[in-house]
């Protein structure tokens, strides 16, 4: 067996396990399995792994560092030019990276400030004019459900004003909310809060129905609380080695 074949078999097995968990979580919540999208978080793993996951049928991939994502997306496009993959940025994004992210991202899930909205809309406008992208950028508002953690995200009370700012641009399309559950408390409490915020948002912005919530360790709880997209890294790809910043 070649190295590639071994890795493909390994990924096929973990994908099947994750799909079983998702199916069971949807069944337990009385929701159809198609309700929840599986987003593979490929950070720290090579483009070759993304190509193998694409071969296994996955089409949505996420990265959390712009510098790492840019060359990986380019390499993936060379490995699988016809995959039609969609790339999500899920990590904290500095405004000076907006220009670059606008070239490769289909979705930015970590929008958390009016200044970032402004930077992204300008960057997308430039990228559209330069022919570096053909579509508006889909965005989610990241909500911070844990005052203590510095993982990014706006306060719950800032979601609606930020949504307003996003929808006044013509380059960004508001799709919903994203959050990372704090490790300190029960994730169910956090996901319930997020679901209430999402319901409120949807009242004013019906097109913003996505809830990106749940990772390898807490996807069942997220699905029980209405998640429409789980972001799974470790359970699919294995443990990440620590990388220096
Ligand atoms: C790394 C990461 C994930 C995936 O986490 P796992 O526990 O490996 O599944 C999900 N969301 C964000 C924002 C991440 O940075």
What CATH number has the domain bearing residue 113? Answer: 3.20.20.10
Q: Which residue of 41, 146, 153, 180 sits with most ligand 1 atoms within 8 Å of its CB, as the best mutation to test the pocket? A: 41
Q: Is residue 242 part of a domain?
A: no
d(CA 80, CA 50): 9
Asked whether residue 107 is assigned to any structural domain, the reply reads yes
- Would residue 85 count as lying in a domain? yes
CA 136, distance to chain mean position in Å, is 17
Decide if 156 is inside a domain: yes
The burial of 242, by beta-carbon neighbours within 10 Å (0-12 exposed, 13-18 middle, 19 or more buried), is given as: exposed
Average confidence (pLDDT) over 61-81: 98
Model-level pTM? 0.96
Q: Residue 8 domain-assigned?
A: yes
Count of structural domains, the chain: 1
Residue labelled with tokens 């979601």? 159
Å from CA of 232 to ligand 1 middle: 6
H or E segment and range at residue 89: strand 86-89
Taking CA atoms only, the protein residue closest to ligand 1 atom 11 is 231
Residue 106 in this model has a pLDDT that exceeds 80: yes
Angle of helix 47-55 relative to helix 3-29, nearest 10 degrees?
A: 60
Structure tokens at 8: 């493909």
Is residue 244 in some structural domain?
A: no
- The rounded Å distance from CA 28 to ligand 1 centre is 23
Residue at 206 is within a domain? yes
Pocket test for ligand 1, best of 62, 194, 214 (most atoms within 8 A of CB): 62
Task: Tell me the CA–centroid distance for residue 213 and ligand 1, in Å.
Answer: 10
Distance CA 34, CA 16 (A): 16
Q: Residue 189: what pLDDT?
A: 92
Map 177-237 to HEC letters.
EECCCCCCCCHHHHHHHHHHHHHHHHHHCCCCCEEECCCCCCHHHHHHCCCCEEEECHHHH
243 domain residue, yes or no? no
Pocket of ligand 1 (CB under 6 A): 41, 43, 64, 90-91, 180, 215-217, 231-235
pLDDT of residue 245: 46
pLDDT tier, 214 (very low <50, low <70, confident <90, very high otherwise): very high
């Amino acid at each position: 067996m070649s190295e590639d074949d071994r890795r493909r078999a390994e990924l096929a097995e973990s994908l099947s396990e994750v799909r079983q968990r998702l199916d069971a979580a949807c069944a337990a919540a009385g929701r159809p399995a198609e309700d929840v999208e599986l987003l593979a978080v490929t950070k720290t793993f090579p483009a070759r792994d993304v190509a193998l996951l694409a071969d296994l049928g996955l089409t949505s991939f996420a990265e959390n560092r712009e510098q790492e994502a840019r060359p990986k997306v380019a390499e993936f496009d060379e490995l699988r030019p016809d995959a039609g993959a969609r790339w999500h940025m899920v990590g904290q994004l500095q405004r000076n990276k907006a220009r670059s992210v606008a070239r490769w991202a289909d979705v930015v899930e970590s929008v958390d400030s009016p200044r970032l909205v402004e930077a992204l809309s300008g960057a997308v406008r430039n990228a559209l004019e330069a022919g570096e992208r053909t579509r508006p950028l889909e965005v989610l508002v990241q909500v911070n459900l844990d005052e203590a953690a510095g993982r990014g995200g706006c306060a719950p009370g800032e979601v609606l004003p930020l949504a307003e700012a996003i929808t006044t641009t013509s380059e960004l399309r508001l799709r919903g909310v994203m959050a990372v559950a704090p490790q300190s408390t029960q994730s169910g409490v956090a996901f319930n809060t997020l679901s209430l915020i999402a319901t409120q948002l949807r009242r004013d912005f019906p097109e913003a129905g996505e809830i990106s919530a749940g990772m390898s360790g807490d996807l069942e709880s997220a699905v029980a609380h209405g998640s429409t997209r789980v972001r799974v890294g470790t359970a699919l790809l294995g443990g990440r080695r620590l990388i220096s910043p």
